[in-house]
Structure 1
Amino acid sequence: MARIAVIGAGMGALAAAARLATGGQRVTVFERADTYGGSVGRFERDGFGFDTGPGLLLLPAVYRDLFVKTGRESLEQSVELVQADPASRHVFADGTAVSLPNTSRSGVIEALDAAFGPGSGERWSEVMLRGRQVWEVTRRPLLEDTFGRGARALGRDPYPAVVRRGLFRRGAPTLAEVGARELGDPRAAALLGSHALAYGFDPRTAPAAATVLPYVEQSFGVWYVRGGGLRALAEAVYERCLARKVEFRFGAAVTEVLEKDGRASGVELADGTRFEADAVVAAAPLRALYDEEVVPWTYQDEWPEPGPVDEPGRFTVHLALRGGRPEGTAHRTVVHAARPEPGLDWTFGPHRGDLPGADALTVTVLRPDDPALRPDGAHEPVTVTATVPPQGVVDWTAPGVADDFAGRLVAAAEAAVPGLRDREVWRVARTPADTERETGAPGGSVPRPVLAGADGALLRAPNKGPVKGLWFAGGWAHPGGGLPHAGMSGAIVADLIAGGPGGSR
């Protein structure tokens, strides 16, 4: 029985810990904060509850597999998992609105034809079919297997070439170009690009392979955990870890990965305590681990950089509203910017300038139908989010900046929630500076999922670290950010430690 030290208690760490403990390993998790879940947190006040991280779940099969492999109770026996239908509602500056049904290709075609005109749905469907081809080519090497040298070939964008105007285009365009050339309507193009923007990608530079993001959502569905939101999923995974005898030490910051005879031999904590281990799983933000010299930069000649230092973060406004949630309200509404270019320029730089106006912001409005998150039926919790520059690129702690920007987000969100400001009881803004403080992520950046293309710039660090016995999991390692990806990384690392080839299948 090996002793395993896990740094961090995010979802990738929990997934790895549960699997390792089920395999007979003695697992101890060290977390600098006082709770588990990483970015999958909860904010509560006056009977209102809000997810502070993702509000919806994609690819629930990843967590179904985790629960099947680690105990008797299934995922559905542990949490109430429900489909969000419609999957999303989209509101545009010209007054157009369209609701996209969950996991219904024909329903999506009908909805887009009705909103954008005949033929719009079929054009969208053709792009999704090419997104499916990307999925089929990249699913195993990009998501399910450990990162290896062969994965570098995924630096070439697998999005199929398309014949247009008699010219055979060699190589794939950006996602924005796909929208402009193949969808034929700026609103449909904005809809396509919004999927990438939600993950922190600039649709103007994201590879066409990013079409896999809306494809996955449309094909496998969008899910919600009723009875507490996505934080309830983190609670269930944590409870599964406890059932498998995983030991947790909260308020225990790791300051060094110990090394002996050329391999990881344990960790040292901020109070000087040393914990010996046969293997170390680092599931904390990799850039922070290196910058704080938990893992020495000595190995950089043989190991790639931990990842970009200025990936975007998220700005969130939690709103307590008087008045109940109207019947038939969509769980998620995306309000598209009237002038998207200034907002994208500000978010992705290089010259940021002043805060953009409300009309330049694309915002996501979450309105869950969940009695566990409201004090009574006469009130409603609403969350508004937007992708924004990280702390440091913008000083979110400067006087008035967070309040000013929160006001702009709320103004934009009123297109989804008429009379929003008149119903407001209170609001709480959360910035990338808050994310940095709570999770240790440099700048409060939110890790993006891996994508093929872009000459490999969007791939993540390998799960196998630069020192023998050191492994990397979580959103900052392969296969990147997002709840399903974190779960996959935990499965890959657990399999590698157990002597397997490393795979989440």
Structure 2
Amino acid sequence: MGAMAAAARLAVAGHRVVLYERTATYGGAVARFERDGFAFDTGPGLLPLPAVYRDLFLKTGKESLEKCVDLVQVDPAARHVFADGTDLLLPGSSRAGVVDALNTALGPGAGDRWGDFLVRAREAWDRTRRPLLEEPLRPDWKVLAEREPYPSVPHKRLLRTRRARTLAEIGDWELRDPRLTALLESHALAYGLDPRNIPASAAVLPYMEHAFGTWYVRGGIRELARALYERCLARRVEFVFGAEVTRIVEKDGRVAGVEVAAEIAAEGGGFTEADHVVAGIDPVRLNGLTERLLQDDGDVRLDLESSRPGRFTVLLALRGAREAGAAHRTVVHAPDRTAELDHLSHRPDNDDLVPLTATVLRPDDPALRPDEEHESVVVSAVVPTETDWLEGDLAERRAESLVTAAEAAVPGLRERLLWREVRLPEAMSPPTLAAADGRFLCPSNTTRLPGLYLVGGWAHPGGGLPHTGMSGALVAGLIVEGPEFRGSQ
């Protein structure tokens, strides 16, 4: 998605753009599975911050995003089922509505504490939005790494006054309710982040959803990829599918083009000359395609050598109509927070099948089911990717545990189940975060090889649909305007 976002903008700016894709189709993780009249998003199921794609479609053609896809806001934003049985229906972007819902479901004062937290989270968002998301990574990026933008509340601990440095400490010290903590931390868990280790600046993740809403594209989020692909075609971007780039060619100290696997030479393989190369792959793979070191010890670098969590997904085909008023998204929280976080952090002797926080998506969308007497449901949870999911029946047992969790969201699920499809996880890249000595920043969109750029979830400003779209805008700006580009105004 980041590569297509850059391609469309560059084509509008007058560049001839050829996009080489290793697989047989466009969209990357924004994929789709179909069977027996059922259809499912196998990647992201919701779109936060749609303004990123509104801007992309505005800048690349006459038809707006809303003319190309049917975009609807999800309201209520989510249903949350907590381990103690508490059932919370959280409204959309209305702060007063959220506060009232929390006070009613969790007890007086809970909503007020969450509302006060959102005010502080907004301050963190205002401090980081432009330098962290809308501008290329600054040469003095350590400024972003050293300053914690979240204005935490002073907390007396062991005769000392301290402020929250991690997302978990915000929950412990400011929210003071395990259910509010679970609500807060679910936004980090969605990206495979351990709230005990990530900076307090991660407060911007729940704030983004609260402030800008959560959106769905009718027909599935795959329709967003389809619309972007068609926009690229309309701007005369050329696509070559089944084309694996095997080398990035350098000449006279700058990029000169790419070499593509010989087996597709008859269809445009071999060497292709280029003034600029934009790579939508992770930096480890990219380093293997070049003959020079693209980063040194002074650069931001992702630790890709260690395992990153991924999303384990189960697709459910159900008989019977979706009940009226069912929530589009339900988060079923894990009963043992510590066990879940230790599992994701690969602590020794931790059970591979510890219960996990499950997200259940039930879109009311006729395009995803054979008829009104059936329903398609997607259940997912974040798991370690280093697990050997092909060993024995481990994947089947994990799928069974997720179906069990989903029963809290879908009435009569097991009696309605026709079949299920399991999708094994691939490593995720989270959005970039400020503070924490830069451990949650992503590599710059520029590299040490002039003319070579990084785009997508493994590059600044990180993973997630909005962030990959932003990366496309940043790369296009750097190519069109040069190193002096400082982001859109």
TM-score (norm 1): 0.92
CA shift, 1:173, in A, is 2.3
CA shift, 1:93, in A, is 1.8
CA shift, 1:412, in A, is 1.2
Q: What residue in structure 2 maps to residue 365 of structure 1?
A: 360
1:345-494 counterparts in 2 under 5 A? 345-351=342-348, 353-357=350-354, 360-390=355-385, 393-432=386-425, 444-494=426-476
- CA distance in structure 2 between the aligned counterparts of 1:150 and 1:397, rounded to whole angstroms: 44
Amino acid at match of 1:407: E
Which secondary structure does the structure 1 equivalent of 2:62 belong to?
coil
- CA distance in structure 1 between the aligned counterparts of 2:70 and 2:384, rounded to whole angstroms: 34
User: Which structure 2 segments of 5+ residues have no match?
Assistant: 263-268
Contact 1:35 1:250 in 2 (8 A): yes
- CA distance in structure 2 between the aligned counterparts of 1:299 and 1:173, rounded to whole angstroms: 32
Q: What residue in structure 2 maps to residue 317 of structure 1?
A: 314
- Would the alpha carbon gap of residues 154 and 168 (structure 1) be closer, same or farther in structure 2, given more than 3 Å must change? farther
CA-based RMSD? 1.5
Amino acid at match of 1:368: P
Mapped pair 1:31 → 2:26: no
Amino acid at match of 1:405: R
CA shift, 1:502, in A, is 4.3
- CA distance in structure 1 between the aligned counterparts of 2:486 and 2:309, rounded to whole angstroms: 30
Mapped pair 1:503 → 2:479: no
Contact 1:333 1:364 in 2 (8 A): yes
- CA distance in structure 2 between the aligned counterparts of 1:73 and 1:362, rounded to whole angstroms: 39
TM-score (norm 2): 0.95
Which secondary structure does the structure 1 equivalent of 2:401 belong to?
helix
Which secondary structure does the structure 1 equivalent of 2:429 belong to?
coil
Amino acid at match of 1:389: P
Q: What residue in structure 1 maps to residue 90 of structure 2?
A: 100
Identity across aligned pairs (percent)? 58
Q: What residue in structure 1 maps to residue 248 of structure 2?
A: 257
Mapped pair 1:125 → 2:123: no
Mapped pair 1:154 → 2:150: no
Contact 1:342 1:356 in 2 (8 A): no
- CA distance in structure 2 between the aligned counterparts of 1:335 and 1:429, rounded to whole angstroms: 19
Contact 2:319 2:375 in 1 (8 A): yes
Q: What residue in structure 1 maps to residue 265 of structure 2?
A: none
- CA distance in structure 2 between the aligned counterparts of 1:379 and 1:110, rounded to whole angstroms: 34
Contact 1:12 1:486 in 2 (8 A): yes
Which secondary structure does the structure 1 equivalent of 2:185 belong to?
helix
CA shift, 1:56, in A, is 0.5
Amino acid at match of 2:329: R
CA shift, 1:418, in A, is 2.7
1:260-283 Cα offsets, whole Å, 9 max, x none, are: 001011000111600000000001
CA shift, 1:296, in A, is 3.8
Mapped pair 1:143 → 2:142: no
- CA distance in structure 2 between the aligned counterparts of 1:430 and 1:25, rounded to whole angstroms: 38
Most deviating of 66-75 and 399-408: 399-408
Which secondary structure does the structure 1 equivalent of 2:228 belong to?
helix
- Would the alpha carbon gap of residues 177 and 289 (structure 1) be closer, same or farther in structure 2, given more than 3 Å must change? same
Amino acid at match of 1:104: S
Q: What residue in structure 2 maps to residue 440 of structure 1?
A: none
Mapped pair 1:277 → 2:259: no
Which secondary structure does the structure 1 equivalent of 2:311 belong to?
strand
- Would the alpha carbon gap of residues 504 and 99 (structure 1) be closer, same or farther in structure 2, given more than 3 Å must change? farther
1:265-321 Cα offsets, whole Å, 9 max, x none, are: 10001116000000000012222223xx11345343364434433221110000001
1:268 to 240, 259, 263: 259
- CA distance in structure 1 between the aligned counterparts of 2:292 and 2:423, rounded to whole angstroms: 32
Amino acid at match of 1:503: G
Amino acid at match of 2:74: A
Give the total of aligned pairs: 477
1:208-287 counterparts in 2 under 5 A? 208-226=200-218, 228-271=219-262, 273-287=270-284
Contact 2:37 2:370 in 1 (8 A): yes
- CA distance in structure 2 between the aligned counterparts of 1:212 and 1:86, rounded to whole angstroms: 20
Amino acid at match of 1:450: T
**Displacement over 6 Å in runs of 4+:** none
Contact 2:339 2:350 in 1 (8 A): no
- Would the alpha carbon gap of residues 326 and 297 (structure 1) be closer, same or farther in structure 2, given more than 3 Å must change? farther
1:74-117 Cα offsets, whole Å, 9 max, x none, are: 00011000000110110012211111111110000000000111
CA shift, 1:170, in A, is 4.9
Contact 1:88 1:100 in 2 (8 A): yes
